[in-house]
A = this chain, B = another copy of it.
Amino acid sequence: MSDKHLSTQFDSELSAISTRVLEMGGLAESQVAQAIYALVNFSGDTATQVLKQEELVNQMEVEIDRDLSTIIARRQPTARDLRLLIAISKTIGNLERVGDEAARIGRTVQRLINSGVSSRLRVPANDVSFEASLATASLRKALDAFARLDAVKALEVIKDDNQIDQEFDGLMRKLITYMMEDPRTISASIDPVFVAKAIERIGDHAKNLAEQIIYIVKGTDVRHHSLENLESIVR
């Protein structure tokens, strides 16, 4: 009975942490959306908002990590539960990095506005928005997969990453063309280059998140595995 009691306490602590992780993920996701909004609409206010949210995301990472350590030390979890707790720690590390990328975009927008570059800048807004929508969709899918511990959905996220990479390549070609057409825009075009890169990285982080989920569900560390290998592990 005492074991049962402990296990129930553990479950409720775990469920509280999972809720916090999803909350942190939701914050990071909205941070990315706002960063892109700030870029496309040249909104300094929204960029400032993104940077404020980053502090919140950072703080949540530190708090959740502290809670995880407390649970491990107090509950002495089984190997399987431990795997879950460590995977959660890596998951929030990924979410924090998503927040970092959003903040990079936010700081870029602030710098662009401060340097009065707006009129000369040729951000290919539709393309950046499209690449970003793919990345945020991936992130949302990964958070869904985490909420349901759904390895099949996690595998989809890993597959989706190729499309984001292709979008990035296309966007890069477009930016290079703009720069060659009008070399005076080169200086201003470097920022969009890094924004496109930041979005591609957000896709990478979603993929890393998905790998952690498969590890939680299947117990196999699938980082650095081939896609075919992944298929056979997940199905």
User: A193's contact among B66, B190, B223, B224, by CB below 8 Å, is which?
Assistant: B190
Q: How many Å from the CB of A113 to the closest CB on chain B?
A: 19
Q: Which B residues are CB-close (under 8 A) to A86?
A: 65, 68-69, 72, 86, 89
Q: From residue 174 to 190 of chain A, which have CB atoms closer than 8 A to chain B?
A: 176, 179-180, 183-184, 186-187, 190
A197 at the interface (CB under 8 A from B): yes
A61 at the interface (CB under 8 A from B): yes
Interface of A is mostly: helix
Asked if A176 contacts B186 (CB within 8 A), the reply is yes
A83 at the interface (CB under 8 A from B): yes
Q: Report the bound CA distance from A223 to B58 in whole Å.
A: 8
Asked if A186 contacts B180 (CB within 8 A), the reply is yes
Q: How many Å from the CB of A86 to the closest CB on chain B?
A: 6
Q: Which B residues are CB-close (under 8 A) to A224?
A: 55, 58-59, 62
Asked if A221 contacts B65 (CB within 8 A), the reply is yes
A78 at the interface (CB under 8 A from B): yes
Of chain B, the residue at the smallest CB distance from A176 is B187
A172 at the interface (CB under 8 A from B): yes
Q: Report the bound CA distance from A194 to B175 in whole Å.
A: 14
Q: How many Å from the CB of A79 to the closest CB on chain B?
A: 4
With A186-B179, A190-B176, A193-B190 already in contact, the answer to whether A83 and B62 are too (CB < 8 A) is: no
A-B pairs with beta carbons under 8 Å apart, 28 shown = A58-B223, A58-B224, A59-B224, A61-B223, A62-B221, A62-B223, A65-B86, A66-B221, A69-B83, A69-B86, A72-B86, A73-B78, A73-B79, A73-B82, A76-B76, A86-B86, A86-B89, A89-B89, A172-B190, A176-B187, A179-B183, A179-B186, A180-B184, A180-B186, A183-B183, A183-B186, A186-B186, A190-B193
Closest 3 CB pairs of A and B: A73-B79, A58-B224, A183-B183
